[in-house]
Structure 1
């Protein structure tokens, strides 16, 4: 799959990442993880503290799939608003999902401080503003559920917003203690720690076939070697759909730029993460070296040539949208990209289990908070493999139903 095109920023922040060998023999393991990006790395890290023999394979160089274009805003609210999730799945399920995402950010923070590579994790508040009058109504509904369940959030008026920022909006949620991270450094840091604990990692090792047995599954590599495993986690991001199509998933395209370094952020209160209620929406964050990542302008295409033909136009449009909010901050795009972006029709990430793939778990951490979702789903799958179950499988299994806890 042609996942993205453009001039990428994150790889320039980690010039000499570790290399891993190509698999050149037949091996056996307890758990095979297919994919060494965000989902695979978090699974490997979670499982490295167990007694299981774990193997990670990736068909590319580690971290050079969608992880290399992840804009890495860490937020517990997502594309589908909390009140909408309540309407679809019931209040208990929607709140549990949101709490698990909040917990995932906490866990990412704890892990970050224990890695040998600094992943540049930083707590940031979020400003989630109403794009229009309809958005104001949504913000109010969202605030009511968040306050009811004790999330640390404030409701800002138009005057309060304009006192903090260089723009005025009808209303906004001010969400405390979200975060940001460098996804490439976090990815490599996780796998470096997992390797120290015995996880075997192979890159440039493509899986191109499998054979299911009574108690194990054997996967075949392009180089004609085999990996026999008791459990398998397909953590291949959007390319997981090449192993198994999932009717609840969809692919579209999104765009992002990274600007020149900026000296003065006076008009940008606390360099908060910023996004809006419009769909598709514009979002933005800053980086450790004081650049600005601006993304959005999603386009309903899953054809890479069509996506890529629009990159230059989208690049200029993202700058225009930024200038509407921050006319006094002078920026230009130094890096830019167009990439596939996946979501689910019902608004929640998924763990897929299918009869034709026995003892296999598909991670579909699709949506705007993929890195956060991956952390939550990795922890759940670890418990399912080691303990036999996890209560949140009722939410994330592909056969979930509406109003789960009614």
Structure 2
């Protein structure tokens, strides 16, 4: 629609965090005991802590950095049970009963969110929106029609149309009515006060390194402190205790990208997701002045693999400029999502032999409803209440073996490629704001030169399982192509499964 005259922001920053001031919480400075320890300050962790604290359970939540700074702080925040073209696939892979349960689980997750917003009168820009999945190729038009038939089989209310209210090409779309969107951090920030008022505790800058399981699980922190509890909920996105269950071999990790775009025309409402490749996601949000911002997302790929990541932002920029009258692009950011081999999250005991160590992971880009119902499943388990979704999400299931083999073959390929790659650059060859794998003292190293010319050099071997990291130019991070760990330019862990930082090299 317009020429691309707008520039991308120099540094990534999610809209959600830019609009709020956050309270700070202390660091764990000594050994402590608690009934339930929650590891991770995102939607699953905070919701779990809230639900338990309100039932009088002594609960402690720890976060490695600041709360709401992980995947929850980088979401597009759609509250919906429409997760792309999922239901026809679930019927094929799991049968109608489980596909129906998945819909009911996410519908309940949505209702829990709405109920807590009403109960606490939370101002979080909640609005009811219809959710669309649209397609413009014959292949995906047929898939849209199959999905509509799946809706009918599962008694999911849904409509069909052959157009959407944009100039974006569309031959078919399926609509799930009365879904929702909100500001996720305003919502979750409001839940921290009831946690504290009910006797719960929240700590930041406290990294869990290891779980020693016994009669009572004991969590060791980075600073050497011990937290002893009756149950631990690992809600750290990727389970940091992945030696329990070998989750690094059971999931794969993807990144996707978002632009916050100001346009001259009015956004018509609704939440949109394209079935075709490359995928595109659209919704709007509002700033404190009531000004609308369109969130344009997509460009998913496996973490640490593929083209220079800034190209993904540029592809979304081109898409936005083609279909909207773009005035400005004040925000850009990316998100990390964990995908299971059978399209259902893992929620429950880490392994059958560790019933007090509970995990929640694998939301596959749909964490608002899945993350909320995961919290309900885990807290019901701790409170010894029945939950109809327990078996559906049970991590002990072994579905999707074929996809697991495929993912681990890909891991092996990238591990070998990283070790055998030939290096031609030295640190002195790295330009301003450039990062690359270089040779230092005969060994591989990750080298970045900032805008002031300062060099940051780290060991390029991922501390999780020894793969070679790759430079992420879009977000200025070192990303592991094997299992998705991410590190800052100084080597600090940003995303697991790694818990140890990259070694600094002088």
Separation (CA, whole Å) in 2 of partners of 1:167 and 1:66:
28
Offset, 1:128:
1.2
What is the CA–CA distance in structure 2 between the aligned matches of 1:107 and 1:388, rounded to whole Å?
A: 17
Superposition deviation, residue 39 in structure 1: 1.3
The residue number in structure 2 matching 1:316 is 314
SS at match of 1:39: helix
Of 330, 335, 351, which aligns to 1:334?
330
1:256 aligns with 2:252: no
Q: Is the contact between residue 60 and residue 204 of structure 1 (CA under 8 Å) also seen in structure 2?
A: yes
SS of structure 1 residue aligned to 2:387: coil
In structure 2, the residue corresponding to 1:339 is in which secondary structure?
strand
Q: Against the structure 1 CA distance between its residues 119 and 243, is the aligned structure 2 distance closer, same or farther, given a 3 Å change threshold?
A: farther
Structure 1: how far apart are the matches of 2:104 and 2:43?
A: 20
Contact 1:212 1:358 in 2 (8 A): no
Secondary structure of 1:210's counterpart equals strand
Cα deviation 1:22-47 (Å, max 9, x = unaligned): 11232211111011112101111221
SS where residue 396 of structure 2 aligns? Answer: coil
Which of 14, 17, 24 is the equivalent residue of 1:8? 14
- Secondary structure, in 3 states, of the residue corresponding to 1:219? strand
- In the alignment, is the contact (CA less than 8 A) between 1:79 and 1:367 conserved in 2? no
Query: Taking structure 1 as reference, are residues 240 and 137 closer, same or farther at Cα in structure 2, changes over 3 Å only?
Result: farther
Q: Does 1:287 align with 2:254?
A: no
Query: Partners in 2 of 1:109 and 1:233 — Cα distance?
Result: 24
How far apart are the structure 1 equivalents of 2:225 and 2:168?
Answer: 58
Q: Retained in 2: the 8 A contact 1:119–1:189?
A: no
Deviates more, 1:382-391 or 1:351-360: 351-360
TM-score by length of structure 1 reads: 0.87
**2 CA distance for matches of 1:258 and 1:90?**
39
Answer whether contact 1:38 1:371 (CA < 8 A) is retained.
yes
Summarize the Cα distance change of 1:199–1:131 in structure 2 as closer, same or farther, 3 Å threshold: farther
- How do 1:35-184 and structure 2 match up within 5 A? 35-79=40-84, 81-115=86-120, 117-157=122-162, 161=163, 164-184=165-185
When structure 1 is superposed on structure 2, of 55-64 and 239-248 the one drifting more is 239-248
Residue 192 of structure 1, CA deviation: 2.2
Q: 1:257: Cα distance to partner?
A: 0.9
Cα contact 2:14–2:73 (8 A) shared by 1 = yes
The offset of 1:94, in angstroms, is 0.5
1:350 aligns to what?
A: 346
- The structure richer in helix per residue is 1
Q: Which moved more, 1:330-339 or 1:33-42?
A: 330-339
The 8 Å contact of residues 135 and 173 in structure 2, kept in 1 or not, is answered as yes
State the match for 1:32 in structure 2: 37
Contact 2:320 2:326 in 1 (8 A): no
* 1:284 and 1:294 in contact (8 A); partners too: yes
Q: 1:195 maps to what in 2?
A: 196
1:210-239 deviations in Å (ceiling 9; x for gaps):
32222x111122233221100110000135
Distance 1:176 1:402, change over 3 A: same
Counterpart position of 2:484:
none
Report which stretch shifted further, 241-250 or 193-202: 241-250
Q: What corresponds to 1:21 in structure 2? A: 26
Contact 1:31-1:229 within 8 A present in 2 as well: yes
Structure 1, unpaired ranges of 5+: none
More contact order relative to length (CA 8 Å, sep ≥ 6): 1
Change (3 A) 1:241 1:134: farther
Structure 1 position 359, deviation (Å): 0.7
Query: Quick check: 2:133–2:274 contact (8 Å CA) kept in 1?
Result: yes
**What is the CA distance between 1:349 and its match in structure 2?**
1.0
Note if 1:399 corresponds to 2:378: no
- Alpha-carbon distance in structure 2 between the residues aligned to 1:241 and 1:287: 36
**Corresponding residue for residue 235 of structure 1:** 235
Q: In structure 1, what is the Cα distance between the partners aligned to 2:381 and 2:126?
A: 28
Deviation at 1:378, TM superposition (A): 0.8
- TM-score, structure 2 length as denominator? 0.71
The 1-side partners of 2:110 and 2:122 are apart by 18
User: Structure 1 residue 387: deviation in Å?
Assistant: 1.7
Secondary structure, counterpart of 1:366 in structure 2: coil
TM-superposition CA deviations, 1:172-223 (whole Å, max 9, x none): 1122111112122222122222222121111111122332222x11112223
Measured on the aligned residues, the alpha-carbon RMSD in Å equals 2.3
Q: SS of the counterpart of 2:37? A: strand
Instruction: Answer yes or no: is the 8 Å Cα contact 2:210–2:240 preserved in 1.
Output: no
Distance 1:335 1:69 in 2: 11
CA contact (8 A) 2:239 2:361 kept: no
Alpha-carbon separation, structure 2, partners of 1:243 and 1:196:
35
Could you tell me whether the CA contact under 8 Å between 1:33 and 1:55 is conserved in 2? Answer: yes
Task: Give the unaligned 5+ runs of structure 2.
Answer: 1-10, 401-506
User: What is the distance in 2 between the residues matched to 1:317 and 1:168?
Assistant: 17
